[in-house]
Amino acid sequence: MSRHTIRKEGGIKVAYGYDHMMPAPLGGYFFQVFNENLVSEENPEGVVISEGMVRGISRNRMAELMVEHGVSNEHHLTCLAMDLPF
């Protein structure tokens, strides 16, 4: 499993990566966004987005989320394009 975490301004944390244990066909890509300002009894981790944690998400969706949330690392996007874990 590879998991990359980036802290952004305003209490935002983005976590994304590849989990080798997730089943095909979408592979093991996952993407999560947390906001510490949204932590509550109902949402103890402040989860804003959590995609791909059970079944994975497509490479296209992963790239879309990375760019949308400003965490598009050139090396990671290249690995994603070649369907390689990063």
pLDDT reported for residue 40: 96
Helices (H) and strands (E) in the chain, counts: 2, 4
How many domains, the chain? Answer: 1
In a domain? residue 19? yes
DSSP 8-state class, residue 23: P
pLDDT of residue 22: 66
38 lies in some domain: yes
pLDDT confidence of residue 25: 58
For 38-48, the pLDDT digits (tens) are 999 999 999 99
Instruction: Quick: pLDDT tens for 9-67.
Output: 999 999 998 887 766 655 688 999 999 999 999 999 999 999 988 778 888 999 999 99
Note whether residue 86 is domain-resident. Answer: no
Residues 6+ apart with CB under 8 A from 16: 3, 4, 29, 30, 31, 32, 62, 65, 66, 71
